[in-house]
Amino acid sequence: MSKKIRVLIADDHAILRSGVKMLLEADSNIEVVGEALDGNEALKLVEQLKPDVTLMDIAMPGMDGLEATRRIKAQWPEVAVLVLTMHRSEEYFFEMLKLGASGYLLKGAQPEELINAVQTVARGEIFLYPSMAGKLVRDYISRTGNTSTLNPSLSPRENEILRLLVEEFSAKEIAEKLVVSISTVHTHRNNIMRKLGLSSRRELIQYARQKGLWGDG
Query: How does residue 213 score in pLDDT terms, banded at 50, 70 and 90?
Result: very low
Are 17 and 103 found together in one domain? yes
pLDDT for the residue numbered 189: 80
Domain stops at, among 109, 126, 143? 126
**Is residue 60 domain-resident?**
yes
pLDDT for the residue numbered 187: 85
Are 182 and 137 found together in one domain? yes
**CATH number for 152:** 1.10.10
Residue 137 belongs to what domain range?
Answer: 131-199
- Higher pLDDT residue, 2 or 125? 125
**Is residue 211 domain-resident?**
no
**Is residue 209 domain-resident?**
no
Q: Which of 35-44, 139-148, 179-188 has the lowest mean pLDDT?
A: 139-148
- Higher pLDDT residue, 170 or 7? 7
User: What's the pLDDT tens digit per position in 89-146?
Assistant: 767 887 888 888 988 888 888 888 899 999 989 998 888 776 666 666 666 666 655 5
pLDDT exceeds 90 at position 200: no
Task: Provide mean pLDDT across the span 27-31.
Answer: 95
Query: Is the CB of residue 46 less than 8 Å from the CB of residue 72?
Result: yes
Are 166 and 122 found together in one domain? no
Are 156 and 189 found together in one domain? yes
What total number of domains does the chain contain? 2
Please, what is the average pLDDT of the chain? 83
CA dist., res. 140 & res. 145, Å (int) = 9
**Is residue 10 domain-resident?**
yes
Q: Which of 6-10, 17-21, 67-71, 98-102 has the lowest mean pLDDT?
A: 98-102
Measured over the CA atoms of residue 151, residue 156, residue 158 and residue 163, the dihedral's sign is positive
Are 110 and 27 found together in one domain? yes
pLDDT exceeds 90 at position 201: no
Are 70 and 21 found together in one domain? yes
User: What's the pLDDT tens digit per position in 157-184?
Assistant: 888 887 787 777 888 888 899 999 888 8
Are 27 and 120 found together in one domain? yes
**Is residue 210 domain-resident?**
no
pLDDT for the residue numbered 135: 66
Task: Provide mean pLDDT across the span 58-81.
Answer: 95
pTM, to two decimals: 0.72
**CATH number for 19:** 3.40.50.2300
Which residues contact residue 6 at a Cβ distance below 8 angstroms, ignoring those fewer than 6 apart? 31, 33, 49, 50, 51, 52, 53
Are 120 and 160 found together in one domain? no
Are 115 and 50 found together in one domain? yes
Are 59 and 164 found together in one domain? no
**Is residue 212 domain-resident?**
no
Percent of the chain with pLDDT over 90: 42
DSSP result, 44-92? HHHHHH--SEEEE-S--SSS-HHHHHHHHHHH-TTSEEEEEES---HHH
Domain stops at, among 110, 126, 142? 126
Query: How does residue 215 score in pLDDT terms, banded at 50, 70 and 90?
Result: very low
